Structure 1
Amino acid sequence: MKKLFAICLIVTIYNNQILTSQNIMTHSAKFGVFENQTNIGNPKNKGAIDFNSDTQEYTISGSGINVWGSTDQFQYVYKSIQGDFILRAHVQFIGDGVDPHRKIGWMVRNNLSANSPEVHASIHGDGLTSLQYRKIDGGETEQIVESLDKMPQVVQLERRGNDYYMSTAKFGDSLVTTKLEGVSLRNEAFVGLYVCSHNEDVIEKAIFSNVRIIKPAAPDFQPYRDYIGSYMETMNVETGLRKTLFYSAHSIQAPNWVNNDKELVYNSNGFLYRYTFENGESQQINTGFAINNNNDHIFSFDEKLLGISHHNQDDNGTSSIYIMDPKGDSIPRKITHDGVGASYLHGISPDNKTIIYTANRKGKYDIYGSDIETREEFQLTDTKDLDDGSEYSPDGKYIYFNSNRTGNMQLWRMDADGSNPKQLTFDENAKDWFPHISPDGKWIAFISFPPTIPFGDHPFYKHCTLRLMPTNLSEKPKIIAYLYGGQGTINVPSWSKDSKHISFVSNSN
């Protein structure tokens, strides 16, 4: 592995500042997240890689007779990897092309020879989508054709032991998965993107964006004990283009976009940090005695108040709510009372008079509020199951939240006094959490977990989606991001002031 890739993040600690290398991050200037490139099978016309470090997009040109039969020719940009993985990218051919059987996609290979055993998720020029594989050196290529998805824009290839899963979709739709069992490639393999023109005299091009190479958590990991690393990301919600800001081997969670979109605030290992876009530095926020903060922190709309959820050791480690100066110039002031039960902050009213939170009271979790000045607590919801993720609309008229009171976790809205609850999503194949309202009041961004997760849970390290829907409910929710994450991905308000971007965390080991 080249030295540039071995150093994913340079960190210097000085006067409680964590200084990150803005340019190295997780990408090299030449090949991004990949190590190198080559022309497999020595095609007559050589391909090339153009990586745009600003947009983090790859333009790949390639030639080659075919990727089929017992031998291959194609252009390949690759990375070495061990064990299980998840590969994901948005893909697009450039131009109409010459041969309808030109191919692009993800490729996994034992080695860089033309006849290597391999598995590849392939999109053809005529729209055919197939999971293709060669089991032995020089063996014949076989395939499983995905009949439902023609010319998908999102392609994912996952390895779990000797099984492979190809998942594809038009951007905005749910992924459709095809499973391939029992292909025994090496534990140490090459993974990468490829382009084949299917014509030795022709060079074809394709663009790959939102490229992710993910090492998932071990199947037997213990939640809240075993953690894997984190990517801090931003995304343009109009285009779906994502950008990785930095990687941390620590679990980082729950970014807020603050200071006129110049900074992000996030938590890690009980502390809060402020990341500055201009210089790529992160500085620890002084929270005084509160050094066991979870990911339920929030700024007031005017950013004059910072609310935190700190595990109070004077109350048996229970999560309690405090208000403090966002600059760290004041001692956090406790709002909730000792002995009442756990409290997890989610919202501050636009007039800075009220906080709302999920609270364990009367043996169950409901949404409560407190007067910030008097600390007087009042109940807003009362259901037998779980209400969580409460957040004020920018005009203060509504509180948005998630609830499984009708059997599946869905999004809801109620008046600010807790009256007139209304269900907003009705998903059977997803569990919806943490609605966040854009500053212009027009959009709801939220995370959707797979339907298989336990009742009332929002766990770490799952295949999730971020979705978007209008607050006037004129359109159904649409997917804006496919990711590996969950707990900590987008627990808190994460919109930029221009209502065009969100920030979130995804995970990889």
Structure 2
Amino acid sequence: MRSLWTLSLLLTAFLYARPQDPSVISRLETYDLSTGQRTVVLEEQAHFEAPNWSSDGRYFIINQNGLLFRVSLDGNSKERIPSGEIRNCNNDHGISPDGTLIALSNNDPDENAPYGSSRIYSIPISGGTPKLITPKMPSYWHGWAPDGKSVLYVAHRGEDFDIYSKDLDNPEEIRLTSDPGLDDGPEYSPDGSFIYYNSFRSGMMELWRMRPDGTEKEQLTDDAYSNWFPHPSPDGKYLVFISYLEDQGQAHPPMKNVALRLYDLGNKKIQTLCSFTGGQGTINVPSWSPDSTKFAFVSYQAVH
């Protein structure tokens, strides 16, 4: 029998990888660390998710209705990124360190995939024919290695969802976690010395880090919130992450009371930046500006 958290995760993936009806207002926003100012870049009565900030600082990439779109910095231009046969992107996507590729997770058709049918592909940054990275399913992309030669992802391979790494040109995948409960959201530090992630191994969803080989696991947060998706700033000074203000167990549902928080890697202090309605889709993927002064996220408002 599948655990309740697995069923919850599968339900969330099913609901939010499908085209959405216009019962929600989505806002692509940026947050300025120096001023605390939130700026709305794009607002639509539609559902979109997961902003990346381009490495040249000129545009964002978002996921909408299973497709990727490029949004200009001022929000005045929005264009689809061609992705060949890829039509079911599930909001896990990110730009390679050299700015030439996009890694993305896609729900491939497979009625016999009990834990999800996501596989990871890459496409050129301007769009094009997808190249398969992870033949096994499910695999959900979360991070590039600093040298761009491998990826980090979350996969189910028989017991739990754990963290794996894989070289782009090597068929073998390397398992990095094997603790009971969900491990998710892995991302390398800019210098490659750590992998930051969230884990339920303590009985609450908290932030952790480990060495690239999976050793020296260290818990970073310990509070009453459900903490997800730590994203290191390009200068290596901070983590921005999302916290559910009510405990969600091992799920990250949409349309909940959430806060974006900042973890100072120097003094280990946490600062709450802003609160709103969000969750799934808000900040699942790396979204820092190249100069580490801002980051992008999505907030939501229900339409009644």
Same fold (TM over 0.5): yes
Q: Match of 2:6?
A: none
After superposition, what is the alpha-carbon deviation per residue over 1:417-450, rounded to whole angstroms, capped at 9, x for unaligned? 11111000111x2110000000001010000012
Equivalent position of 1:394 in the other structure = 190
Report if aligned partners of 2:41, 2:74 keep a CA contact under 8 Å in 1: no
1:448 maps to 2:239 = no
* Gap regions ≥5 residues in structure 1: 1-221
Amino acid in structure 1 at the alignment position of 2:230: P
- Contact preservation (8 Å) 2:41, 2:75: no
Q: CA deviation at 1:314?
A: 5.4
Counting only pairs closer than 5 Å after superposition, residues 181-330 of structure 1 correspond to structure 2 as 224=16, 228-277=24-73, 280-313=76-109, 318-329=117-128
Give the alignment's TM-score, normalised by structure 2.
Answer: 0.89
* 2:205 corresponding residue in structure 1: 409
Q: Which digits, 9 at most, give the CA deviation of each residue in 1:9-39, with x for residues without a partner?
A: xxxxxxxxxxxxxxxxxxxxxxxxxxxxxxx
CA contact 1:359–1:365 (8 Å) conserved in 2: yes
Mapped to 2, the partners of 1:348 and 1:286 lie a distance apart of 21
Out of 286, 292, 296, the position equivalent to 1:499 is 292
Match of 2:158 in 1: 362
CA deviations 1:130-172 (Å, max 9, x no partner) are: xxxxxxxxxxxxxxxxxxxxxxxxxxxxxxxxxxxxxxxxxxx
Instruction: Report the identity percentage.
Output: 42
Q: Offset of 1:296 from its aligned partner? A: 0.5
AA aligned to 1:254 is: A
Contact 1:292–1:310, Cα closer than 8 Å, also in 2? yes
Shift of 1:259: 4.2
Change (3 A) 1:238 1:491: same
8 Å CA contact retained: 1:262, 1:278: no
Q: For residue 290 of structure 2, what is the amino acid of its counterpart?
A: K
Structure 1 residues 96-133: Cα deviation after superposition (integer angstroms, max 9, x where no partner):
xxxxxxxxxxxxxxxxxxxxxxxxxxxxxxxxxxxxxx
1:278–1:250 Cα change, 3 Å: closer
Relative to the length of structure 1, the TM-score reads: 0.54
| Uncovered stretches (5+) of structure 2, i.e. residues with no partner | 1-13
Quick one: distance in 2 between partners of 1:434 and 1:498? 20
1:475 shift after superposition: 3.7
CA–CA distance in structure 1, aligned partners of residues 183 and 94 of structure 2? 18
User: Are 2:170 and 1:377 aligned?
Assistant: no
- 2:90 counterpart SS class: coil
Distance 2:264 2:231 in 1: 11
Residue 332 of structure 1: which of 130, 133, 144 is its match?
130
In the alignment, is the contact (CA less than 8 A) between 1:402 and 1:434 conserved in 2? yes
CA–CA distance in structure 2, aligned partners of residues 266 and 388 of structure 1: 20
What's 2:10 paired with? none
Q: 1:238 to 1:315 in 2, by over 3 A?
A: farther
User: For residues 247 and 278 of structure 1, what CA distance do their matches in structure 2 show?
Assistant: 12
Determine the structure 2 residue equivalent to 1:460: 254
Taking a change above 3 Å as real, the CA distance of residues 373 and 294 of structure 1, as seen in their structure-2 partners, is same
Match for 2:188: what amino acid?
Y
Separation of aligned partners in 2, 1:375 and 1:311: 20
Count of matched residue pairs:
282
